[in-house]
Chains A and B, each alone.
Chain A
Amino acid sequence: MPADRFLRALRGAAFIGGCLLVAAAFAADAPTAKPLVADPALEARVLDLSHKLRCLVCQNQSIAESHAPLAVDLRDQVREQLAAGRSENEVVDYLVARYGDFVLYAPPFKATTLLLWLGPAALLLAGAGWLAIRLRSREREAAVTLSEAEHRRARELLAGNAAVPPSSKEPRS
């Protein structure tokens, strides 16, 4: 995001009161440094994609973070191909064809990753189901102990004129 747009936005948000962009007078005369890359927008795409690709020789780093020669080569490949107009998906396909799914930090959705991608949802359902059962049984207990009949029986018991034991249910601590 360009800096000026961001600042405009921040001003609007009034997050930082009165932060106005003023040209830096002291440094204004100095010549401006050149960006490292000719096309920052492209570089942002390269970096974005590189963060999702795993460097094969490093312990566990993306090709964006690693300084390993292979990571540099692959980053160059990504840049070259994006610059040539290929889409992110095409670049990913290119790398997967050579290095396999291992290069992807986001594994593709397929038979062998079904459990990985659906696992959390399954766990959530299982947890919710378990919770529902637990709560239902608890509520039943609560309802039983608090029911009007129960109270009446308790009063009768206390008065000493209960004819029949109320229930065979074991008391819960």
Chain B
Amino acid sequence: MIPELGHFALVLALVIALVQAVVPLLGAHRNRLALMAVGRPAALGQFLFTGFSFACLTWAFVVNDFSVEYVAMHSNTATPLIYRITAVWGSHEGSLLLWALTLSLWTVAVAVFSRNLPEAFVARVLGTLGWIAVGFLAFMLVTSNPFTRLIPGAAEGRDLNPLLQDPGMIIHPPLLYMGYVGFSVAFAFAIAALLTGRLDAAWARWSRPWTTAAWVFLTAGIALGSGWAYYELGWGGWWFWDPVENASFMPWLLGTALIHSLAVTEKRGAFRSWTVLLAIGAFSLSLLGTFLVRSGVLTSVHAFATDPRRGLFILAFLVAVIGVSLLLYAWRAPKLAGGGSFAFVSRDTALLGNNVLLSVVSASVLLGTLYPLFLDALGLGKLSVGPPYFEAVFVPLMTPVVVLMMFGPFLRWKGDELMPALRRVAPAFVASILIGLGTAFAVGHVSWRTVLGLALAAWVVLASLQLLATRLRERAGASAASRLATIPAAWWGMWLAHLGVGIFIIGVTMVGSLENNLDVKMKEGERVEFSGYTLLFRGVQDAPGPNFAAARANLELFRGDVDIGTLQPEKRIYLAQQMPMTEAALDVGLFRDVYVSLGEQLEDGSWIVSLHYKPFISWIWAGCVLMALGGILAAADRRYRRLAERRLPAAAVQAA
């Protein structure tokens, strides 16, 4: 009964989404407030019914209702409760439901936090979001109903893919979807603006916090996914340039360009048609990612079970959403020319330059991801495009981005003198190159990539420090602390996020250049020297889990004669699918991880133990955390300012 209720709620959500898609837009077109006002309650209703439907599916998992096909395929009575709940989004149908729920959540957020926007504008935004919801809910109901019954019901379920039974997977998909789907808000704002023809600084100001928030979620989601791959796949890789990873990375790149472009549009009124195109592009790439994961046109480690009918449906949906919005763009954008003028040497130019570069990187990743498909479709053979290609393309293209990223903030808006600006940054720039070379020599790994990476990281850090010092000097105030306090949160956000890029580069460079790996055969009581550490093998014991059998090794980790702790890597067999899994054990440190995974037992009774030394790898995620924190600060600042604007009249009255 509960699954039927969930199914029914989904149908109702679709009906409400249709109302939300049609009525407010009609109201905005005819200028009828009553019709526009339908948008907010419809958004809420759609959220409630989608949420109810989601709760029903969760319930089916919690009570092990194996008469629901989706539950029977992805859960098991022995699966721990937390993974039965996360199994809701562990595969195609349920993750679509999460998609729809996330979308309705964003829609409700827009409906609630848009009280100070013009009604007609809100109506158009909600209408646009309504159409997207219609597409996804219909997609689910037509091709991928998670509530399909299994008749007769199964006695036992097939369990969730063991790879997904991991704490990282509890939160990674919801974060990622919040990011992906969050770009739909920026997209809807852009469409609404195109419809009204009103694309001004106010529009950019409204869009900014939403876009930044989505970007923060996407950053966190991607970082978490990469962290998951690092410790779950058993050999310490953290990024694979898999089509599905690229599918989340491309919107991130374009989204990064978008938040910067929005800044210029808000502050200077420039780049308007470009900003709109980026907003459409970022969300289009999110949708394209959804298509790639679910259609089966590309092989990927992460791809869902596929069905050509689904692919066709999403493709049609893609054409409808992206095609119509690009048509709208072609119709309206020509009227958007102009904006604030600026000189060749200006912060505006630096931002536009990086925008173009990020778009080129994004397009190149798209090219590499889809090239095998292009070639196959043209009958020119099959090939694979993998990490060597993407690295060869990515590094040279991102280098100028990073250089420009730290140069831009030293330039004034609108126009600046080139030579004085260069003189301002020259010491830091030269010092970075020297530091890059010096450090590479010092760590004994002089390759162009190490030197480049370390120099870039040094450049980011030094320029950040200089930027802060300059900022403090410019501010009036008695003490450094009081001057610090006057710096707005948005500036701190920018500063932190950029610094995060530097920290990230340090992590990537160091681990790429200096990581070390050793596979050994170990018997109880044996030790191994590895990268300055000693590991003592204390044997293997049985460690059965709720739905798996496991062998757990005990390795004591020493540095010198200091006992750092015991590492317990496991080798598991998940019983329902008889699938072997390695659970690596890590000693996480600020400057290095010691990563141990347990392999097979050999005939002579010894075990294969795989040791990895990963210098500075935590810095990769620390960098991502800084970027996300920076985003949070930037988004918070906007909201604060809006509140302040509203409070201002009251304060003025009091003062008078």
Contact = CB atoms under 8 A, between A and B. Distances in A.
Interface of A: 1, 3-10, 12-16, 19-28, 30-37, 40, 43-44, 47, 51-52, 54, 58-62, 65, 67, 100-107, 112-113, 115-116, 119-120, 123-124, 127-128, 130-131, 134-135, 138-139, 141-142, 145, 172-173
B235 A65 contact: yes
4 A-B pairs closest in CB distance: A105-B386, A24-B534, A9-B444, A106-B388
Listed residue (B341, B380, B387) with the most chain A CB atoms within 10 angstroms of its CB: B341
A22 B526 CA distance: 18
Given A34-B520, A145-B341, A116 B527 contact: no
Interface string B354-368: 001101100110011
Interface string B516-552: 1111111101111111111111000000000000000
Which of B371, B386, B559 is packed against the most chain A CB atoms within 10 Å?
A: B386
23 contacts: A3-B532, A10-B443, A24-B534, A25-B560, A27-B558, A28-B527, A30-B527, A31-B526, A34-B521, A35-B520, A36-B521, A37-B519, A54-B386, A59-B300, A59-B301, A103-B384, A105-B385, A105-B388, A112-B380, A120-B360, A120-B393, A138-B342, A139-B343
B382 interface: yes
B529 A101 contact: no
Nearest to B233: A65
Contact of A27 (B299, B536, B608): B536
Contacts of B326: none
Contacts of A172: 337-339, 341
B591 interface: yes
B537 A127 contact: no
Contacts of B608: 36
B512 interface: no
Contacts of A138: 341-342
Nearest to A104: B384
B560 A116 contact: no
B561 A24 contact: yes
A100 B529 contact: no
Interface in B475-516: 514, 516
Contacts of A25: 560-561
A165 B381 CA distance: 65
A33 B527 contact: yes
Contact of B338 (A10, A21, A51, A173): A173
Interface in B285-331: 299-301, 303
Nearest to B525: A30
A126 to B, nearest CB: 8
Contacts of A44: 517
Output the residue of B235, B359, B384 with the most chain A CB within 10 A: B384
A82 B386 CA distance: 23
B560 A21 contact: yes
Given A3-B516, A105-B386, A116-B389, A32 B532 contact: no
Nearest to B243: A60
Given A116-B371, A120-B397, A127 B356 contact: yes
B528 A7 contact: no
Interface string B434-455: 0000010011110000000000
Contact of B381 (A12, A36, A112): A112
A23 B533 CA distance: 9
Nearest to B515: A1
A135 B349 contact: yes
B396 to A, nearest CB: 8
A67 B352 CA distance: 46
A32 B528 contact: yes
Given A13-B443, A107-B384, A33 B341 contact: no
Q: How large is the interface on B (under 10, 10 to 19, 20 to 34, 35 or more residues)?
A: 35 or more
Contacts of B233: 65
A13 B520 contact: no
A13 B580 CA distance: 41
B527 A31 contact: yes
A4 B531 CA distance: 7
B381 A30 contact: no
Contact of B383 (A19, A23, A65, A107): A107
B517 A9 contact: no
A142 B342 CA distance: 7
A28 B563 CA distance: 13
Contact of B444 (A1, A32, A130): A1
Interface in B340-355: 341-344, 349, 352-353
A60 B352 CA distance: 36
Contacts of A40: 518
A141 B344 CA distance: 12
Contacts of B353: 131
Contacts of B33: none
B388 A120 contact: no
B252 to A, nearest CB: 18
B427 interface: no
Nearest to B534: A24
A36 B597 CA distance: 14
Given A35-B520, A124-B360, A135-B349, A5 B444 contact: yes
Given A35-B518, A124-B397, A60 B242 contact: yes
B556 interface: yes
B344 A139 contact: yes
A42 to B, nearest CB: 13
A62 B444 contact: no
Nearest to A103: B384
B431 interface: no
A6 B387 contact: no
Contact of A6 (B240, B367, B444): B444
A112 B518 CA distance: 39
A10 B510 CA distance: 11
A7 B613 CA distance: 12
B100 to A, nearest CB: 26
Contacts of B360: 120, 123-124, 127
Given A3-B531, A172-B339, 14 more contacts: A1-B445, A3-B530, A4-B532, A26-B563, A27-B536, A28-B527, A30-B525, A31-B527, A58-B301, A62-B386, A101-B383, A102-B384, A105-B387, A127-B357
A15 B435 CA distance: 13
A36 B559 CA distance: 23
A161 B406 CA distance: 49
Given A35-B518, A101-B381, A130-B356, A59 B591 contact: no
A83 B397 CA distance: 37
B526 A61 contact: no
A30 B539 CA distance: 13
B237 interface: yes
A23 B560 CA distance: 5
A9 B442 contact: yes
A22 B562 CA distance: 10
Nearest to A20: B560
B82 interface: no
Nearest to A140: B341
